[in-house]
Amino acid sequence: EYMEGTSNNKALEIYNPSQLPISLADYQLVNCSNGCDVEGEWDYTNDIFGGATLGAGDVFVIAHPDAAPAIAAVRDVEFQFLSNGDDVFALQQISTGDIIDIIGEASLVDIEGGWTVNGVENGTQNHTLVRMETFNEGNSDWATAQNEWNVLEVDDFSNIGSHTIIPCSVNTDPSLSFSVAGMTVNEDAGTVTVEVSVLNPLDIDMTVEVMLTGGTAVSPDDFDGTGFPVTLTFPAGMDMAQSFDVIIADDMMDEGAETITLELMNPTDGVSLVTSEFTLTINPSDALTSVLEIVEAAAIDAEGVAINLDLECELRGVVYGVNMRPSGVQFTLIDPTDGIGVFNFEPVSDYVVNEGDSVHVVGTIDQFNGLTQIAVSSIALISSDNTLIAPTVITELSEFAESNLITVNCVSLVDASQWINDGSGFNVDVTDGNNTFLMRVDADTDVFGTDAPEGEFTLTGIGGQFDNSSPYDEGYQILPRYISDLVSCGIPFSVIEYQKEVLSVYPNPVSNELTIAVPAKGTLRIFNTLGQTVRMITQVSPGNETLNVSTLIAGTYFIEIATETSVYRAQLVKK
């Protein structure tokens, strides 16, 4: 199942149609955002399954952290960066690189809206997709896979958490099988556990031998092969998997990836072998710089200390914010898993910071007053004008907010005298009436030098931290990027001003789909009459932008597009 709904109601559901449990350790979620950066390559690889085992006929649900309760109740893992309808996602087997299933088409093209599904235009946007019962395996070819789905209305939660298929013929024969066909580990993995599953066990003990049959790795230089062959015994009448260990040697040689091939042989009479071959791929731990997801690179311990200090790695993501160190580089990098600060006192690779750039950076993990960052040595620009993520609405500043795009609704200054416009920046306290947040105004943003905001305003920015002692669990901040990140709360401008319709929207009044003639690149917000933000798109481009507003309650709303130089506004009536 695939779900792209209102707000954060986004989910993917993976189903095991087989009669055997499947280990997800050899699988990952891969995706491209707004078209792939490089032909034939995925922008992001997301190892999010955590070695979970998916039972026969069971499902595994990946959903946004702030999804509706009906989704959260069956969610197996949280994942914030799911599709907005135009981002291709696929399930990939790590050991082989094979694509098992796909939603959308992997190409360099950034489509508008979503892909057509089973004859429904923009079917991957504002819809729930459920695989038809007649299909019992994935399909890596979107040209045909798009016709295998039932297209349901937006926010249809009726199927999430389970799935039904018309099964293939049921195998009643006793059989043994490697739980996965392969696995990839690093050279410093130490001991690797390999599992063999049983289906329809006999009433007597069953045995099978695991033989070492090939591969490029050599024992004892690369692994300990003295224990082979291994004999596994499966107790009578029990469907309990059995396992054995392979011990990997971590040498200091500069070498490429190596493999170990194992095979199941000589089973008990009457027992068949299903997946009888297993390939273990060993990546060198001392080879080229590792490409890491930010969530892994920026990991911290219980004291808030970065666990990967001085680790050299490559990170890939999208640039957020302005350059807050004109003499060098300082910005935030966000990928589908997390965000991190990027820093160097000096210019790097002649790169000019521009929000929305997709970049690959190489450097070492560092930490400054609790803020995890990468001290960058090279920056490669891949593409520009990439769509930004929608900010996450928060009610408190915490580690979650660090180096992520966040919003706090309807705050006001605690003490306007803190707005000093002096030095390299200044701190001001803001409150929503229940919680107090520390806002940091950096001198390199266009917020610096403006008058203190009056009344209530919605604040968007990058989460930061400045805590000079361990444990690093205090000093969290929100740093606005632009003056447009501060939007007046309440009715932000007079109704008369909105009625001028500087911004062209139609039809007006509207029931379902609203078209907005976007005059320039900027941030789009829709407010209700209480001044609450009910919809926000952080980056819209010139041209017609179509929004589904069918879920809005009937009444009057106010639309604003804030660009770098102007603010365009209109009043809207929802029928």
Distance CA 37, CA 41 (A): 8
Residue with tokens 């920056």: 379
Look at residues 455, 445, 451 and name the one whose alpha carbon lies nearest to residue 425.
445
pLDDT at 157: 94
Fold topology of 495-574:
Immunoglobulin-like (2.60.40)
Q: Are the C-beta atoms of 292 and 313 separated by less than 8 Å?
A: yes
CA distances from 60 to 13, 52, 54, 192, 460 (A): 6, 9, 7, 24, 33
Look at residues 276, 259, 274 and name the one whose alpha carbon lies nearest to residue 210.
276
CATH code of the domain occupying 290-383: 2.40.50.200
CA distances from 351 to 347, 376, 404, 481 (A): 7, 12, 22, 19
Look at residues 39, 28, 94 and name the one whose alpha carbon lies nearest to residue 62.
28
Cis bond upstream, residue 69 (ω within 30): no
CA distances from 57 to 171, 190, 210 (A): 14, 33, 28
* Distance linking the first and last C-alpha atoms of the chain: 32
- Locate 231 and state its tokens: 């004999």
In the three-class reduction of DSSP (H, G, I as helix; E, B as strand; rest coil), residue 26 is classed as: helix
pLDDT at 495: 37
Q: Are the C-beta atoms of 340 and 331 separated by less than 8 Å?
A: no
Residue with tokens 């999208």: 318
Q: How many CA atoms lie within 13 A of 283 on its CB side?
A: 12
Distance CA 7, CA 130 (A): 20
Q: State the pairing for strand pair 10-15/358-368.
A: unpaired
Distance CA 448, CA 235 (A): 72
- Locate 297 and state its tokens: 């690179």
Q: State the pairing for strand pair 53-54/182-186.
A: unpaired
In the three-class reduction of DSSP (H, G, I as helix; E, B as strand; rest coil), residue 294 is classed as: helix
Q: Are the C-beta atoms of 222 and 189 separated by less than 8 Å?
A: no
pLDDT at 252: 59
Distance CA 130, CA 33 (A): 22
Q: State the pairing for strand pair 242-247/191-199.
A: antiparallel
pLDDT at 22: 83
In the chain, CATH 2.60.40.2030 covers: 175-283
Distance CA 250, CA 33 (A): 36
In the chain, CATH 2.60.40.3080 covers: 495-574
Distance CA 132, CA 148 (A): 6
The DSSP string of 74-109 is T-SEE-S----SSS-EEEEETTT--EEEEES--SS-
In the chain, CATH 2.40.50.140 covers: 392-488
CA distances from 506 to 397, 399, 573 (A): 38, 42, 10
Q: Are the C-beta atoms of 348 and 394 separated by less than 8 Å?
A: no
**CATH of the domain spanning 392-488, picked from 2.40.50.140, 2.60.40.3140, 3.40.1280.10, 2.60.120.10:** 2.40.50.140
Tallying the residues shown for the chain, one arrives at 575
In the chain, CATH 2.40.50.200 covers: 290-383
Tens digit of pLDDT per residue, the chain (575 long)? Answer: 999 999 899 999 999 988 777 888 889 999 998 889 888 899 898 888 877 888 888 999 999 998 999 999 999 999 988 988 999 999 999 888 899 999 999 999 889 889 999 999 999 999 999 999 989 889 999 999 999 999 999 999 999 999 988 775 566 789 999 987 888 888 888 899 999 999 889 999 999 999 999 999 999 889 999 999 999 999 999 989 999 999 998 765 666 788 999 999 999 999 999 889 999 988 876 555 788 999 999 999 989 999 999 998 999 999 999 999 999 999 999 999 999 999 999 999 999 999 999 999 999 999 999 999 999 999 999 888 888 888 988 989 999 899 999 999 999 999 999 999 999 999 999 999 999 999 999 999 999 999 999 999 999 999 999 998 989 999 999 999 999 899 987 544 333 344 334 788 888 888 888 899 888 888 888 877 656 677 778 678 888 888 888 878 877 788 888 877 777 888 788 88
* pTM, entire model: 0.45
Q: Are the C-beta atoms of 365 and 306 separated by less than 8 Å?
A: yes
Fold topology of 175-283:
Immunoglobulin-like (2.60.40)
* Residue 476 neighbours by CB distance under 10 Å: 22
Residue with tokens 């901040």: 477
pLDDT at 501: 45
